Structure 1
């Protein structure tokens, strides 16, 4: 596949080249890694940015954002970030906690009464399905940690509860967040609130909590409190007409190679939604998300504007799972040195072999999206990185580990 190295004007490229020797980041190695993944057919297109010790040390783009039209990925290409919406929503909630509008210990039912008495699915001693009453209320912190007992409805026939969530219409458009809470209230929980980690609909519930406590629309809250202060002009719940030419198509990797999943020029993201999903509904760009990551790295501050207090960011990016919590999905756990913070995972320990293989250094906060966008913030090395892809595949593609490993190697060596 033809390579595309694009998006930098001559002046911007000169500026980038001027910053690189100061930090000694191996630009050539990263270019080779990313362009090689495009050339080999592992990925269709990619953009990536690395920030280290106060400056952008790498930013580049390769490949295609639209294979059918031959349009290249550029630095301002707009991507579906799906679950990378979750850290942003979590940051908004922490802003409301700072203001005293909500408390992490508050029961969710204080703001959404219909979620007070959801039944808990289980089986009796004979293996017969049964429903039980909640023994404890779900809290705001439980929602931030995916520890509220909620299901999701995106995992297929993983269990009977997931199937019920999938059929409930929790992601259909034509309804606002308030209507979604009514639907959610009629579904069972996977587990008792507070008992363990199950990736879930909980961040979408937090979007409704934010609306209730402020009497403002969720998208307006994000715009006023996160996007505008950070200059995230290309992030939102739909693609504006002026963004449409820059919007990437989405693909799926099958046994027969990449197939078009959604054409960027006819996408449902071109329409302003009624359901604003804080768990997976945002679109963004490389530079926009980098601004958010930089704010987290810098203790809540970005270009002189304090979005969150430093202690709030430290709290957000800390391990909050209890020792007796169960990880009901295999993604996290003590055996992987990986736990959960507010809105993203946290690396709780590392080895040299682990760092060499995956770049996952202790203290790193990260999360990704269903179309394989990904970011991580590494406070111990004063660095962060963002990588944007646009295709569905399970599990994570090898380029993620390779990218993060090279980043960590470089920021540790400077």
Structure 2
């Protein structure tokens, strides 16, 4: 496909980033009822349905590569992998390839917050204004996504809490979700917690992000909320703001906190906000899908992730290997333990992977309808997980003692159904392993 053809397609940043996973892209992620009692009798076998999907997507040129990883309990993971780091490339993908995980960053930030709660450094229902005073007197739009004018604003009925940030119930907006004046104001003020490409693609004019988490949090505090706190689930920048809360509480930069408290103890040695040039040889290319054809929008050797980001995006900023993300999932499945090292307290994991939505919050008409939400991820039927804007997905299932993840790189993620189908395919294979 020629560059002009891609220009003519006019893919917008909104369409690229929204995708299935950004909006709840894990719409079925962690929502398939696997049947806990029956799963106790599972005899591990081949993942035939997942393998067939991987074969179909790569062999038919829909994506450059696809990798699914699985692990039972604390056992080492297995992988189904096909394809190369880039279309027409020669390096096959494996568990150590690097993928942009976008919103799969959110559960990581959520669990970092749970560590601080477990340590008594902050409380689940603590007003964030006790940590960030600028959030003490927030205003709320009367008309959702309406004018940002005095006659359309009213005081917040209750303070924003840590719980609200963890569960997208703070009433905060999102530049990829909101429309009208509030969306434009986010862009003009640089409240942009995500990135796609260095390329000057049409529709991706997104303003210049503010230069620090502190500036992001301060700027966000000046904006009205789009909903009253604690009233409705609405996908938002709350996990990015939580990064600022974490660094203020810890008195260290947010990315340093993640490295010291989570990545290093869990043995996650290939998880980055900035991909080192030394690792380009195992880094994938990201593609925009136009008329069924992949077009490289973030080539590995000129990726925007080779640059230091404006600030560490706690909601969407990480690049990670399947092996590293499996270690994160394995730590969760071990209730905070991995390879004899305690990374998190057991109670912190149990609470963080449980439904901690505020009592009475409205989820109707959202991707959470009939489901629960934990620390940055969906909770349902013994499972916890989330997905990413470039087609990735991951979850742990406590009833099955299973961890599973899908890695590929294409945008928008809802171009293909595989992300939402992944847990369904896993469920089919588990049923086959049960003999039914």
User: Which TM-score band applies after superposition, normalised by the shorter structure?
Assistant: 0.7 to 0.9
1:204 to 236, 240, 248: 240
Give aligned pairs, total: 374
Shift of 1:332: 1.8
Task: Return the offset for 1:371.
Answer: 0.7
Q: For structure 2, list consecutive stretches of 5 or more residues without a partner in the other structure.
A: 1-41, 193-207
Task: Work out whether residues 50 and 407 of structure 1, in 8 Å CA contact, stay in contact via their aligned partners in 2.
Answer: no
After superposition, the C-alpha distances for 1:364-389 in whole angstroms (9 at most, x for unaligned) are 11101111111011101110101111
Q: CA deviation at 1:44?
A: 2.4
SS at match of 2:348: helix
Distance 2:375 2:77 in 1: 28
Partner in structure 2 of residue 58 of structure 1: 78
Larger RCO of the pair (alpha carbons < 8 Å, separation 6+) = 2
Partner residue, 1:285? 321
Tell me, what secondary structure is at the counterpart of 1:346? strand
Superposed displacement of residue 329, structure 1: 5.8
Please say which of residues 387-396 and 110-119 is displaced more in the overlay.
Answer: 387-396
Contact 2:49/2:428 (8 A) holds in 1: no
Give runs of aligned pairs for residues 84-95 of structure 1, distance below 5 A: 84-95=104-115
SS class of match (2:270): coil
Distance 2:298 2:95 in 1: 21
Q: Aligned runs of 1:69-148 on 2, under 5 Å?
A: 69-123=89-143, 130-148=152-170
1:283-304 deviation per Cα after TM superposition (whole angstroms, max 9, x unaligned) = 1000000000011111111111
State the partner residue of 1:344: 377
> How far apart, CA to CA, are the structure 1 residues paired with 2:176 and 2:321?
25
Provide the C-alpha distance between the structure 1 equivalents of 2:356 and 2:64, rounded to a whole number of angstroms: 37
Question: Matched residues in 2 for 1:363 and 1:203: separation?
Answer: 23
What displacement does 1:344 show?
0.3
Give 1:33 shift.
2.7
SS class of match (2:265):
helix
| Aligned partner of 2:188 among 160, 167, 182 | 167
Q: After superposition, give the CA deviation of every residue in 1:77-101 in whole Å (9 maximum; x if it has no partner).
A: 1111111111001111111111111
Q: Conserved in 2, the CA contact under 8 Å of 1:121 and 1:161?
A: no
Deviating beyond 6 angstroms after TM superposition, the runs of 4 or more aligned structure 1 residues are 126-129
Equivalent residue number for residue 297 of structure 2: 261
Structure 1, unaligned runs of 5 or more: 1-21, 348-361
Counting only pairs closer than 5 Å after superposition, residues 222-241 of structure 1 correspond to structure 2 as 222-241=258-277
Following superposition, the deviation at residue 330 of structure 1 comes to: 2.7
Q: Conserved in 2, the CA contact under 8 Å of 1:119 and 1:131?
A: yes
Aligned-residue CA RMSD (Å): 2.4
Secondary structure of the structure 1 residue equivalent to 2:302: coil
- The alignment partner of 1:60 has SS state of strand
1:152-178: per-residue Cα shift (whole Å, max 9, x none)? 112363x54333323321124561111
In 1, the alpha carbon distance for the partners of 2:245 and 2:411 equals: 30
- Which residue number corresponds to residue 34 of structure 2? none
Match of 1:154 among 172, 176, 184: 176
What are the superposed Cα offsets for residues 259-280 of structure 1, whole Å, 9 maximum, x if unpaired? 2211111111102234011111
Structure with the higher fraction of residues in strand conformation? 1
The equivalent residue for 1:399 is 418
Structure 2 length-normalised TM: 0.80
